[in-house]
């Protein structure tokens, strides 16, 4: 006989799978159709006002979490009980799960904003998955259904278990084969019906008849016949736990994204108090293969350490500013949007960008000036670092003087006229012209500790990157692309160059290490963006190398010396080779 604790474990694992699968399906149907949430909502509605008031007084803002936690604890208890009962007869277990499903369905389908029958899907699919798991686990452990197969295994004289365990084991392994077959059919069909019939039909008549003849030893001891296989139960339960967890995580991820997309779609962006300078017509040369002046959001490079994108509800979002300040302050998303907004074109660059690489992009950002917000907290004079933290725990250490010096350092809420995309930091991210992203561009921003570089360290610093990350002047050849084959004759070489917040004053190109020639610079709205450039070249037959270098507005020309991205940004001249025929 399977011991009670094992039944309880099987019940818990089955309940977990049921909820996980329900969560997964709810991720697509709608997060509110997850039965636990629906039951929680109904509970709130049915709770007498004095009890509700008590709960709010006692648990405050976490009353919802306490309620869901309570529902889960009750669920766990009942799931364990279902497992214990299922050891005797799977039908009892199925009946228990069915009862659960009915409660869940009632809660889901009576929600005020129900979408009809589709809302039942998470509960139904979850219940079937739970029933399937329960029957699988109980058999695996050597529960009721196993007995019959043990008998038939005896008659077929199956081989000993690979691990040379007791004589009952082969029978048990056979069982799993048999039950898997019936399980497989139950997925598409009716797990309850087939499970129940397996149980009652086979464990009844067949078992005793056959085993009585062929396996007298087994008949003597009913306990032996229903031998409990602890290892197989535990591995099965572990498998169930993995499935339950994975399904829950995936379901929440999908569900969260759905909810966020809805929230993003509803947001209306306020007009900027300070609009960006218009982009001069001549800023965009419009050459095929040349990076456009504004990088569309869908083409904008993405860099983050997060494996799954943080999903931050703008209605719950808070920015806390504390540390070396006169008074700690906290802002909601609405607070932020009430402040005067600034629009600015800023080119973002990643420190990991190789010479000639594409971890750089230019966008029109809309946001509140960081300096305006920080002044409300009042930076103390000994502070030199803004340690910003993302919802996923990533941190940036930004020099305070850079942020406060009047440049368009923003808490950005929009990118190219669109509410910030989730992958670019929705709802709020930092953008600081002139600093590499890893020290400045915190996405999913939630917290700023005003501190000192000699007291704190940001995410990448102990990982071998410099604490300070001013962007190094760079230039890139976009056309032709390296390895291109060109025709003899006049052709255009073009690309982009950047020296954020200083500005690009000159770009020079040379072919085959000949004379440097000055390229034409496209117009630019300011020093914080990259600048397109182009130059004509009379290509002659053969293989050629083309090099580029930029000089910033402070008169510094890019160094030829090659340096890798770590620890503080790559250097060297972008060089390409082309064939001309
Ligand atoms: N939360 C968070 N913010 C982050 C990062 C990160 O890993 N996590 N990476 C930074 C780095 S290294 C860069 S280059 C920029 C990239 O911003 P983007 O993905 O919008 O282009 O984000 C910065 N902000
Ligand atoms: Mo980066």
Q: What is the pLDDT of residues 257-278, one digit of tens each?
A: 888 888 898 899 999 999 999 9
Q: Give the confidence band of 213 by pLDDT, cuts at 50, 70, 90.
A: very low
Q: Ligand 1 within 6 A of 422 CB?
A: no
Selection from 524, 499, 497 nearest residue 277 by Cα: 524
Q: Give 124's contacts (C-beta < 8 A, 6+ positions apart).
A: 101, 105
Q: Ligand 1 within 6 A of 259 CB?
A: no
For the segment 111-115, the average pLDDT, to the nearest whole number, is 73
What distance in angstroms lies between residue 437's CA and the mean position of ligand 2's atoms? 5
Q: What is the 3-state secondary structure (H, E, C) of 371-436?
A: HHHHHHHCECCCCCEEEEEECCCCEEEEEHHHHHCCCCCEEEEEECCEECCHHHCCCCEEECCCEC
Selection from 14, 253, 288, 49 nearest residue 135 by Cα: 14
Q: How far apart are CA 151 and CA 226, in angstroms?
A: 10
Q: Give the confidence band of 125 by pLDDT, cuts at 50, 70, 90.
A: very high
For a ligand 1 pocket test, name from 438, 472, 565, 570 the mutation site with the most ligand atoms within 8 angstroms of its C-beta.
438
What distance in angstroms lies between residue 241's CA and the mean position of ligand 1's atoms? 34
For the segment 363-386, the average pLDDT, to the nearest whole number, is 98
Q: What percent of the chain has pLDDT over 70?
A: 85
What distance in angstroms lies between residue 525's CA and the mean position of ligand 2's atoms? 24
Distances in Å between the Cα of 374 and the Cα atoms of 102, 113, 148, 435 are 54, 42, 74, 18
Query: What pLDDT, in 10s, does the model give residues 525-551?
Result: 999 999 999 999 999 999 999 999 999
Q: Does 281-463 carry CATH code 3.40.50.720?
A: no
For the segment 411-428, the average pLDDT, to the nearest whole number, is 97
Q: CB-hemisphere CA count at 13 Å for 452? A: 7
What distance in angstroms lies between residue 235's CA and the mean position of ligand 1's atoms? 40
Longest dimension (CA), the chain: 101
* End-to-end Cα spacing for the chain: 84
For the segment 377-404, the average pLDDT, to the nearest whole number, is 97
CA dihedral 418, 421, 427, 431 (to 10 degrees): -80
Which protein residue has the closest C-alpha to ligand 1 atom 19? 302
Which protein residue has the closest C-alpha to ligand 1 atom 12? 438
Q: Higher-confidence residue: 78 or 173?
A: 78
What distance in angstroms lies between residue 265's CA and the mean position of ligand 1's atoms? 23
What distance in angstroms lies between residue 411's CA and the mean position of ligand 2's atoms? 18
Q: How far apart are CA 27 and CA 139, in angstroms?
A: 31
For the segment 218-245, the average pLDDT, to the nearest whole number, is 74
Which protein residue has the closest C-alpha to ligand 1 atom 9? 304
Q: What is the pLDDT of residue 50?
A: 77
Cα 136 to the center of its chain, rounded Å: 32
- Best-predicted range by mean pLDDT among 18-32, 156-170, 308-322, 418-432? 418-432
Whether the per-residue pLDDT at 163 is higher than 60: the answer is no
pLDDT-wise least confident of 76-90, 168-182, 487-501 = 168-182
What distance in angstroms lies between residue 303's CA and the mean position of ligand 2's atoms? 6
Q: Ligand 1 within 6 A of 426 CB?
A: no
For the segment 480-484, the average pLDDT, to the nearest whole number, is 95
Decide if 362 contacts 276 (C-beta within 8 A). Answer: no
Which protein residue has the closest C-alpha to ligand 1 atom 16? 303
Q: Give the confidence band of 226 by pLDDT, cuts at 50, 70, 90.
A: low
What distance in angstroms lies between residue 534's CA and the mean position of ligand 2's atoms? 27
Pinpoint the residues of the chain covered by CATH 2.60.40.650: 474-580
Distances in Å between the Cα of 255 and the Cα atoms of 62, 127, 250, 420, 579 are 21, 19, 8, 19, 52
Q: Ligand 1 within 6 A of 358 CB?
A: no
Q: Give 546's contacts (C-beta < 8 A, 6+ positions apart).
A: 477, 480, 493, 509, 510, 511, 537, 575, 576, 577, 578
Q: Ligand 1 within 6 A of 333 CB?
A: no
Q: Ligand 1 within 6 A of 363 CB?
A: no
Q: Ligand 1 within 6 A of 424 CB?
A: yes
Q: Ligand 1 within 6 A of 437 CB?
A: yes
Q: What residue spans of 30-143 are helical by DSSP H?
A: 35-46, 49-59, 63-86, 90-109, 121-141
Selection from 433, 434, 441, 445 nearest residue 460 by Cα: 441
Radius of gyration of the chain (CA): 33
Q: Which atom of ligand 1 is nearest to the CA of 430?
A: 24
Adjacent-strand bridge partners of 498: 474
Rounded to the nearest 5 degrees, what angle is found at the Cα of 139, between the Cα atoms of 137 and 141?
70
> Which fold is adopted by the domain 474-580?
Immunoglobulin-like (2.60.40)
The rounded mean pLDDT for the chain is 85
| pTM assigned to the model | 0.70
Query: What pLDDT, in 10s, does the model give residues 66-89?
Result: 887 888 898 899 999 999 998 888
Give buried/exposed letters for 544-555 (b at 16+ CB in 10 A, else e).
bebbbbbbbeee
Which protein residue has the closest C-alpha to ligand 1 atom 20? 424
For a ligand 1 pocket test, name from 350, 395, 432, 500 the mutation site with the most ligand atoms within 8 angstroms of its C-beta.
350
Q: How far apart are CA 371 and CA 321, in angstroms?
A: 12
Collapsing DSSP states into helix, strand and coil, what is residue 347? strand
Q: Which atom of ligand 1 is nearest to the CA of 424?
A: 20
What distance in angstroms lies between residue 462's CA and the mean position of ligand 1's atoms? 17
Pinpoint the residues of the chain covered by CATH 3.90.420.10: 281-463
Whether the per-residue pLDDT at 422 is higher than 80: the answer is yes
Q: Ligand 1 within 6 A of 431 CB?
A: no
What distance in angstroms lies between residue 440's CA and the mean position of ligand 2's atoms? 9
What distance in angstroms lies between residue 359's CA and the mean position of ligand 2's atoms? 8
Q: Ligand 1 within 6 A of 532 CB?
A: no
Q: Backbone phi, then psi, for 492, in 5-degree steps?
A: -110, 130
Q: Ligand 1 within 6 A of 465 CB?
A: no
Which protein residue has the closest C-alpha to ligand 1 atom 5? 304
Q: Give the confidence band of 168 by pLDDT, cuts at 50, 70, 90.
A: very low
Q: What is the 3-state secondary structure (H, E, C) of 55-78?
A: HHHHHHHHHHHHHHHHHHHHHHHH
Cα 41 to the center of its chain, rounded Å: 27
Rounded to the nearest 5 degrees, what angle is found at the Cα of 430, between the Cα atoms of 425 and 434?
130
For the segment 236-256, the average pLDDT, to the nearest whole number, is 89
Which protein residue has the closest C-alpha to ligand 1 atom 8? 304
Q: Which ligand is nearest to the CA of 396?
A: 1
Selection from 412, 409, 406 nearest residue 398 by Cα: 409
What distance in angstroms lies between residue 441's CA and the mean position of ligand 1's atoms? 6
Q: Which atom of ligand 1 is nearest to the CA of 438?
A: 12
Which protein residue has the closest C-alpha to ligand 1 atom 13? 437
In which residue are the tokens 């686990």 written?
137
């Amino acid at each position: 006989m399977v011991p009670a604790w094992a039944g309880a474990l099987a019940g818990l694992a089955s309940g977990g799978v049921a909820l996980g699968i329900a969560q997964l399906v709810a991720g697509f149907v709608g997060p509110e159709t997850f039965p636990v949430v629906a039951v929680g909502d109904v509970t709130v509605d049915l709770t007498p006002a004095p009890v509700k008031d008590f709960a709010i007084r006692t648990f405050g803002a976490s009353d919802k979490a306490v309620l869901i936690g309570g529902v889960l604890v009750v669920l766990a208890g009942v799931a364990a009980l279902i497992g214990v009962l299922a050891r005797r007869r799977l039908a009892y277990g199925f009946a228990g799960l069915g009862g659960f499903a009915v409660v869940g369905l009632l809660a889901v389908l009576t929600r005020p904003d129900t979408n009809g029958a589709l809302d039942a899907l998470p509960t139904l699919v979850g219940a079937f998955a739970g029933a399937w798991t329960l029957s699988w686990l109980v058999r695996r452990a050597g529960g009721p259904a196993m007995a019959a197969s043990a008998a038939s295994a005896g008659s077929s004289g199956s081989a000993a278990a690979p691990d040379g365990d007791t004589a009952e084991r082969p029978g048990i392994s056979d069982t799993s084969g048999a039950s898997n077959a019936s399980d497989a059919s139950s997925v598409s069909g009716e797990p309850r019906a087939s499970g129940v019939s397996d149980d009652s039909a086979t464990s009844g008549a067949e078992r005793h008849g056959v085993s009585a003849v062929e396996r007298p030893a087994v008949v003597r001891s009913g306990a032996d016949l229903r031998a409990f296989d602890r290892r197989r139960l535990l591995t099965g339960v572990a498998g169930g736990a993995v499935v339950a967890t994975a399904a829950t995580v995936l379901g929440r991820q999908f569900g969260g994204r759905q909810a966020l997309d809805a929230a993003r779609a509803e947001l209306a962006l306020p007009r900027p108090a300070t609009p960006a300078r218009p982009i001069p017509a001549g800023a965009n040369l419009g050459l095929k293969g040349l990076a456009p002046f504004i990088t569309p959001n869908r083409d904008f490079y993405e860099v983050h350490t997060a494996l799954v994108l943080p999903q931050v509800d703008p209605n719950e979002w808070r920015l806390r500013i504390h540390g070396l300040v006169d008074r700690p302050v906290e802002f909601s998303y609405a607070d932020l949007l009430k402040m005067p907004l600034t629009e600015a074109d800023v080119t973002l660059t990643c420190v990991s960008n190789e010479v000639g690489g594409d971890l750089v992009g230019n966008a029109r950002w809309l946001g509140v000036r960081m300096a305006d917000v920080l002044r409300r907290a009042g930076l103390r004079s000994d502070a030199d670092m803004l340690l910003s933290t993302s919802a996923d725990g990533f941190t940036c250490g930004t020099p305070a003087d850079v942020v406060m010096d009047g440049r368009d350092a923003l808490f950005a809420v929009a990118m190219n006229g669109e509410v910030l995309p989730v992958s670019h930091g929705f709802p709020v991210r930092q953008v600081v012209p002139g600093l590499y992203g890893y020290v400045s561009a915190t996405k999913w921003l939630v917290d700023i500790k005003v501190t000192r570089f000699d007291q704190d360290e940001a995410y990448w610093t102990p990982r071998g990157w410099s604490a300070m990350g001013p962007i190094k002047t760079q230039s890139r050849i976009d056309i032709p692309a390296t390895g291109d084959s060109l025709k003899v004759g006049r052709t255009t070489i073009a690309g982009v160059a950047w020296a954020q917040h200083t500005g690009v004053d000159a770009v020079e190109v040379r072919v085959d290490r000949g004379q440097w020639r000055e390229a034409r610079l496209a117009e630019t709205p300011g020093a914080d963006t990259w600048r397109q450039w182009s130059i004509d070249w009379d290509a002659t037959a053969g293989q050629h190398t083309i090099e580029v270098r930029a000089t910033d507005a402070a008169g510094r020309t890019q160094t030829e010396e090659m340096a890798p991205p770590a620890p503080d940004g790559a250097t060297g001249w972008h060089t390409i080779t082309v064939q001309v025929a």
